[in-house]
Amino acid sequence: MHRRTFFFGGLAGLAGCRRSSQPRLNVYNWSNYIGPNTVAEFERQTGIRVRYGIFESSDELLAKALTGNCGWDVVFPTNHHVAPLRDYNLLAPLDHSRLPNLQNLASDFRAPEWDPQLQHSVPYMSTSAGIVYDRRQLGTLSRWADLWEAKVEGRMTMLDAQDDVLGACLVKLGHSWNSTAESELRAAQREAIRQKPLLRAYLNAEVRDQVVAGDVLAAQMWTTTMLPVMASAPQLDFVYPAEGFVRYAESAVVLRESPRQEAAHRFINFLLQPEIAAACVAAEKTGPVLAGVRELLPSELRDHPLLFPAPQDLARGVWLRTMPPSAQRLRDRLWTEIKSA
């Protein structure tokens, strides 16, 4: 595809690069979030050398990017961090003429609510969080409210992340996951404190082993984290809770300060090919954002509910939103109160 684009793009990249004879690109992504050969394939096709760095949390990325001069060209914030980066004038506007593969985006991701015109970001992968639980020990769970039941006492964990804990409490109470209303947030905080005696711990991905081993019977967890072990632990089930759940989309953005805009666009355009995306999805078990990827996946992933929730489940999902500073501040405080309660 588009060999000519690559050729001229390569020339432009060469011309734009003064110091090194070989064009170079600095890519900063989540750890374990790309196919094993994706970068090598890009380098082979384009002759652009890639320096690939990884981060472990969105906050780490944001903290680095906000200080400026971080030296990365393409980075992958989660959807709710796109607005802060844009407002700080850190993002380069995307040139859609250099991203012909945008046409491969699935309809859900063509006009996402956080960047409807895809002016600064392009969706890359999508994931969500729900409840993973031991069906043999607990029976069927279907709601967040089940995590307030005595039967999970001492054997249940929530994510160690304020958006996720407050969000689950908010939807349990019938409010919006992304609520900014003080009264609703305070009610959610009380709900979280009420849950604490039943809680074993607030744990992120590290809880996975304990869920598989049976130490923990129910956990609020990301689909991406659980999917690789679901097949080997038949007692486990995953539910998108009835009250609603959150979705995240990792997005590719180009930093404004990057002197390698051309190469950065080429990298993003490269990722927007179904074959490339399918390899990333198969390797990382994270939901695709492109049409035509599902058909390319191995059969055990093609219909996996953790990658492709049923339409009636998906309808309850909401995208995590950027909080206005005042709501963010209140949430921070409530979270600290929950922690020290």
Least distance in angstroms from the C-beta of 38 to other proteins: 28
Out of 20, 67, 107, 299, name the contact with other proteins by CB under 8 A.
Answer: 67
The residue type found at 21 is S
**Is residue 57 close enough to count as binding other proteins by CB under 8 A?**
yes
H or E segment and range at residue 62: helix 58-66
For residues 169 to 198, the per-residue mask of contacts with other proteins, x marking binding by CB under 8 A and - elsewhere, is: ---------------------------x--
Q: CB-based contacts of 125: which residues, under 8 Å, 6+ apart?
A: 33, 249, 250, 280, 281, 284, 286, 287, 288, 289
Per CB under 8 A, contacts with other proteins among 311-330 are: 325, 328-329
Instruction: Using CB under 8 A, count the residues that bind other proteins.
Output: 35
Least distance in angstroms from the C-beta of 15 to other proteins: 35
The DSSP result for 291-316, as a single string, is TTSGGGS-HHHHT-TTTS--HHHHTT
Report residue 229 as tokens.
Answer: 């072990």
CB nearer to other proteins: give 87 or 275.
Answer: 87
Q: Using CB under 8 A, which of the segments 57-65, 126-134, 174-182, 278-286 binds other proteins?
A: 57-65
Q: What pairing do the DSSP bridges indicate for beta strands 236-239 and 122-134?
A: antiparallel
Q: Can you tell me which residue has the tokens 């509910």?
A: 305
Rounded Cα gap, residues 49 and 267, in angstroms: 11
Q: CB-based contacts of 40: which residues, under 8 Å, 6+ apart?
A: none
Out of 76, 144, 202, 245, name the contact with other proteins by CB under 8 A.
Answer: 202
CB nearer to other proteins: give 263 or 330.
Answer: 330
Per CB under 8 A, contacts with other proteins among 218-277 are: none
Task: Please name which of 25, 18, 20, 54 lies closest in space to residue 42, comparing C-alpha atoms.
Answer: 25
**Is residue 340 close enough to count as binding other proteins by CB under 8 A?**
yes
CB nearer to other proteins: give 62 or 277.
Answer: 62
DSSP structural state of residue 88: T
Least distance in angstroms from the C-beta of 160 to other proteins: 4
Least distance in angstroms from the C-beta of 341 to other proteins: 9
Q: Is the dihedral of CA 110, 113, 115, 121 positive or negative?
A: negative
Q: Can you tell me which residue has the tokens 């393409």?
A: 74
Which chain residues interact with other proteins by CB under 8 A? 57, 59-60, 62-63, 66-67, 84, 87-88, 154, 157, 160-162, 196, 199-203, 210, 213-215, 325, 328-329, 332-333, 335-337, 339-340
